[in-house]
Amino acid sequence: MKFRKNALACASVLALGAGVAQADPVTVGLITTLSGGGAGLGVDVRDAFELALQMAGSDAIHLVVEDDGQRPENAVQIADRMIQSEGAQILTGIIWSNLAMAVVPAVTAQDVIYVSPNAGPSALAGAGCTPNYFNAAYQNDTMHEAAGQYANTLGYQNAFIMAPNYPAGVDALTGFKRYFQGTLAGEVYTQLGQTDFAAEIAQIRASGADSIFIFEPGGMGISFMRQYAQSGVDLPIISAAFTFSQDVLPAVGDAALGVINTAEWSPDMDNEANVAFVAAFQEAYGRLPSVYAAQSFDTANLILSALAAADISDLEAFRTAMRAADFDSVRGSFRFGNNQHPIQNYYAREVVSVDGVLTNRIVGTAFEDHQDVYAADCAME
Amino acid sequence: MTAALLFEQFLNGLQFGLMLFLMSAGLTLVFGVMGLINLAHGSLFMIGAFFCAAAAGLTGNFWLGLAAGMAAAAAAGALIEVTVMRRLYTRDHLDQVLATFALILILSEGTKILFGPFPLYLDVPPLLTGTVDLGLTPYPLYRLALIVAGIGVALGLWLLIGRTRLGIRIRAGENDREMIAALGVNIRALYTVVFALGAALAGLAGALVGAVQSVQVGMGEPVLILAFVVIVIGGIGSIRGAMVGALLVGVIDTMGRFLLPQVFALFLDPSKASGAGAALASILVYLLMALILVIRPKGLFPVHA
């Protein structure tokens, strides 16, 4: 039975191959989270990637999408299957750092290219960097470094800082502290998936802080902000984009208004690529794109630009074309550092309401041409 | 650390415990009366929150949403009982776990298909926004209302089980299933009613908590795990045990999260202390459960002593 299925698949692949003889599309496997609590992020990544292919009108990519359910073991299996039975030569799509760590080293060791549209764990940016891994989003620490830097700009002296107790949460607080020059009124690790923040809010109330830095992505941030709004504590909040991205803003509601959050992109950025992207995304899906969507859109265009310049069968040439990053990024300027992570600007955004829809607007710049600290440990030139 | 902060944290623990009680009461009733392990109880919590958020969004009225959330959860509970659970009463507990786990997946994906993958917005009703001054500290009015609601439901449940005909049947069902069937009580209908009642309580908890939490797919599972801890501590099948267990878990979890990092800070640097404290706090309720199981293997208030 299995043999027959395989034989059939082979036959259909052959038939397909005969049909498009001139340039076979390269199979790109998109592994992302489409079910469970984190599905909103993955849906944005998938939708933006498909939109980019559609807008480019290119048939250079054959896209295969699969749901990892936010489980590392699923992601590993899907990656194996995509490479072995679907012949994927490029993989992308993973949202979460723990899933990326499970998939990326194994995949890149097989000379398959992995392009990250979101996760940027430090282990892959420093000594663990590899020529087959490209990060088209950010290195995890940098978003929070930008928040620390901008907290100085805003004159905050005494911050209460908080993140979930898992590697990305530790990276977040480390990143913030690396640039923040004031003192800490408190440093709290919450539980991953925590839904009730009353105990932490009571501590904030008693701490004497003049500001709060939080990294609570997804549902945790929604819960925290809704409870914070009811608590009567009224300190300014600064954060990285994840906690105040377009995917969660409608659920947080007006409690998010005025919050400063840092990111390398914002829907109001006034460059040609971004204006076209935001308009097309709204037209196609009836909602504003999130930062995850923007990163995924760039990832797709980056891959397309490299495929146009080089044949992937010559891996060395293809990697060189990827490193050139010759595409119109929705972030304006975009280039890779030696560790194949971006060197880019980081902006401070404020949550505002435009025609009744909550969104982000750029209010300042935290860093220009900022590179992650781990790049120095990467052996690549 | 001040008395005001301790007092506020105690109230937080109380409120968290009472919401856990709403979840555990249904779970323990269903286990006590029908001998059924229902992993999908968390999904009923989620259904309550989603229907509340959707109805409140459509009508602009939180109270209508609350009613819709409870009704939807009760209806889903009754439907599940009639279509799935009935086939499981005579089966092994492992079969029940397998089937109700499948229900979690089906209900989660069903909710996603119905409401979309993005979290929903549910606001606190205008009547209950802001804070009240409790002398020592200002406290969110909505959380205070949750405490009152939790106590109210607990009292109502106590009256229902202690003072009504339905309550007599439920207690009889816990003690001897075959005997009350032989006495002419329609045991099938009783099971459906008990299951729907438990589901309605879970839906109520979901809807109430949904106003200060993220209403999203999978929101029920973390609460479900704690609810199981609560009923194991309290004694499986005992409503009184669920109450005591829920308050213990609520207060100890809240206090642990707040006090343990401070204890560790006495001999570690702040960054390490908050990490170590948070790690220990997250397992504190499970340590409590293990300790109680060592001392009283059937929980604090065993039903079948």
Digit-coded pLDDT (tens) for A131-174: 999 999 999 999 999 999 999 999 999 999 999 988 788 889 99
Where residue A23 falls among pLDDT bands split at 50, 70, 90?
A: low
Where residue A38 falls among pLDDT bands split at 50, 70, 90?
A: confident
Q: How many CB atoms lie within 10 A of CB B33?
A: 24
Classify residue B225: in a domain, yes or no.
no
Taking one residue from A and the other from B, the number of pairs with CB-CB distance under 8 angstroms is 139
Whole-number pLDDT of residue A10:
47
Q: Give the 3-state secondary structure of residue A93.
A: coil
The residue range of the domain holding A112 is: 2-139+269-343
pLDDT in tens, B6-33: 898 999 999 999 999 999 998 998 888 8
Are A243 and A94 contained in the same domain? Answer: no
| The pLDDT of residue A62 is above 90 | yes
Where residue B1 falls among pLDDT bands split at 50, 70, 90?
A: low
Interface contact flag, A231 B2, Cβ < 8 Å:
no
Classify residue B49: in a domain, yes or no.
yes
- Angstrom distance (rounded) from CA A196 to CA B211: 12
Q: How many CB atoms lie within 10 A of CB A356?
A: 5
Classify residue B127: in a domain, yes or no.
yes
Selected for mutation to probe chain A from B104, B121, B259, B283 (highest A CB count within 10 Å) is B121
Are A261 and A277 contained in the same domain? Answer: no
Are A225 and A90 contained in the same domain? Answer: no
| The pLDDT of residue A20 is above 80 | no
Place of tokens 């999408």: A65
CB proximity under 8 Å: A 153-212 to B: 165, 170, 173, 184, 187-191, 193, 195-196, 198-200, 202-203, 205-206
| The pLDDT of residue A338 is above 90 | yes
Where residue B173 falls among pLDDT bands split at 50, 70, 90?
A: confident
Cβ neighbors of A198 (< 8 A, separation 6 or more) are A227, B9, B12, B15, B16, B143, B254
Q: Which of B214, B215, B218 sits opposite A36 (nearest CB)?
A: B218
Classify residue B47: in a domain, yes or no.
yes
From the list B251, B253, B271, the residue with the least C-alpha distance to B261 is: B271
Where residue B135 falls among pLDDT bands split at 50, 70, 90?
A: confident
Are A118 and A167 contained in the same domain? Answer: no
Are A50 and A151 contained in the same domain? Answer: no
Summarize the confidence of residues B67-89 as an average pLDDT: 94
Contacts of B9 in chain A (CB under 8 A): 198-199, 202
| The pLDDT of residue A22 is above 50 | no
From the list B3, B32, B36, B31, the residue with the least C-alpha distance to B174 is: B32
Are A95 and A20 contained in the same domain? Answer: yes
Q: Which of B119, B270, B274 sits opposite A251 (nearest CB)?
A: B119
Interface contact flag, A189 B274, Cβ < 8 Å:
yes
Q: Where are the alpha helices (DSSP H) in B84-186?
A: 93-115, 141-163, 165-175, 177-182
Are A261 and A273 contained in the same domain? Answer: no
Nearest-Cα residue of chain B relative to residue A216? B214
Whole-number pLDDT of residue B281:
86
Whole-number pLDDT of residue A364:
95
State whether residue B118 sits within 8 Å of chain A by CB.
yes
Interface contact flag, B118 A247, Cβ < 8 Å:
yes
Are A134 and A71 contained in the same domain? Answer: yes
Query: Does residue A272 or residue B36 have the better pLDDT?
Result: A272
Cβ neighbors of B132 (< 8 A, separation 6 or more) are B138, B139, B141, B144
Where residue B52 falls among pLDDT bands split at 50, 70, 90?
A: very high
| The pLDDT of residue A348 is above 50 | yes
Domains in chain A, number: 2
| The pLDDT of residue A17 is above 60 | no
Contacts of B7 in chain A (CB under 8 A): none
CB proximity under 8 Å: B 34-63 to A: none
Dmax over CA atoms of chain B, in Å, equals 68
Are A228 and A359 contained in the same domain? Answer: yes
Interface contact flag, A205 B5, Cβ < 8 Å:
yes
pLDDT in tens, A272-330: 999 999 999 999 999 999 999 999 999 999 999 999 999 999 999 999 999 999 999 99
Whole-number pLDDT of residue B304:
63
pLDDT in tens, B226-250: 999 999 999 988 889 999 999 999 9
Domains in chain B, number: 1
Classify residue A380: in a domain, yes or no.
no
Q: Which secondary-structure segment (H or E) carries A352?
A: strand A342-354
Q: In this prediction, what percent of chain B has a pLDDT beyond 90?
A: 56
Instruction: Report CA torsion sign: A233, A237, A243, A245.
Output: positive
Whole-number pLDDT of residue A11:
47
Selected for mutation to probe chain A from B144, B214, B252 (highest A CB count within 10 Å) is B214
Interface contact flag, B12 A205, Cβ < 8 Å:
no
- β-pairing, A211-214 with A260-263? unpaired
Q: Is the CB of residue A323 less than 8 Å from the CB of residue A336?
A: yes
Averaged pLDDT score across all residues of chain B = 90
Are A54 and A192 contained in the same domain? Answer: no
Cβ neighbors of B83 (< 8 A, separation 6 or more) are none
Q: Which of B13, B271, B278 sits opposite A191 (nearest CB)?
A: B278
Q: Is the CB of residue B179 less than 8 Å from the CB of residue B172?
A: yes
The residue range of the domain holding B207 is: 8-216
Q: In this prediction, what percent of chain A has a pLDDT beyond 90?
A: 76
Q: Radius of gyration (Cα) for chain A, nearest Å? A: 21
Q: Which of A188, A196, A253 sits opposite B123 (nearest CB)?
A: A253
Averaged pLDDT score across all residues of chain A = 90
Classify residue A241: in a domain, yes or no.
yes
Place of tokens 């907290």: A151
Classify residue B221: in a domain, yes or no.
no
Where residue B184 falls among pLDDT bands split at 50, 70, 90?
A: confident
pLDDT in tens, A77-122: 999 999 999 999 999 999 998 899 999 999 999 999 999 999 899 8
Are A222 and A355 contained in the same domain? Answer: yes
Burial class (CB in 10 A: 0-12, 13-18, 19+), A6: exposed
Compute the C-alpha angle B116/B120/B121, nearest 5°. Answer: 155
Whole-number pLDDT of residue B169:
87
- Angstrom distance (rounded) from CA A206 to CA A49: 46
Summarize the confidence of residues B203-217 as an average pLDDT: 91
Whole-number pLDDT of residue A171:
86
- Angstrom distance (rounded) from CA A282 to CA A285: 5
Are A207 and A104 contained in the same domain? Answer: no
Q: Residue type at B254?
A: T
Looking at the complex, report in whole angstroms how far the Cα of residue A141 sits from the nearest Cα belonging to chain B. 17
State whether residue A95 sits within 8 Å of chain B by CB.
no
Summarize the confidence of residues B58-64 as an average pLDDT: 93
| The pLDDT of residue A12 is above 60 | no
Whole-number pLDDT of residue B134:
85
Selected for mutation to probe chain B from A231, A254, A290 (highest B CB count within 10 Å) is A231
Contacts of B212 in chain A (CB under 8 A): 223, 226-227, 230
| The pLDDT of residue B274 is above 90 | no
Compute the C-alpha angle A137/A262/B119, nearest 5°. Answer: 80
Classify residue B289: in a domain, yes or no.
no
Whole-number pLDDT of residue A90:
97
Q: How far is CA A200 from CA A168, A175, B133, in A?
A: 19, 21, 19
Task: Tell me: ipTM over 0.95.
Answer: no
Contacts of A221 in chain B (CB under 8 A): 214
Q: Give the 3-state secondary structure of residue B296.
A: coil
| The pLDDT of residue A21 is above 50 | no
Looking at the complex, report in whole angstroms how far the Cα of residue A85 sits from the nearest Cα belonging to chain B. 27
Whole-number pLDDT of residue B185:
85
Q: What is the CATH number of the domain that holds A321?
A: 3.40.50.2300
Contacts of B4 in chain A (CB under 8 A): 206
Contacts of B254 in chain A (CB under 8 A): 198-199
Classify residue B188: in a domain, yes or no.
yes
State whether residue B259 sits within 8 Å of chain A by CB.
no
Interface contact flag, A223 B214, Cβ < 8 Å:
yes
Whole-number pLDDT of residue B273:
83
Whole-number pLDDT of residue B278:
84
Where residue B111 falls among pLDDT bands split at 50, 70, 90?
A: very high
Q: In this prediction, what percent of chain A has a pLDDT beyond 70?
A: 94
Classify residue B262: in a domain, yes or no.
no
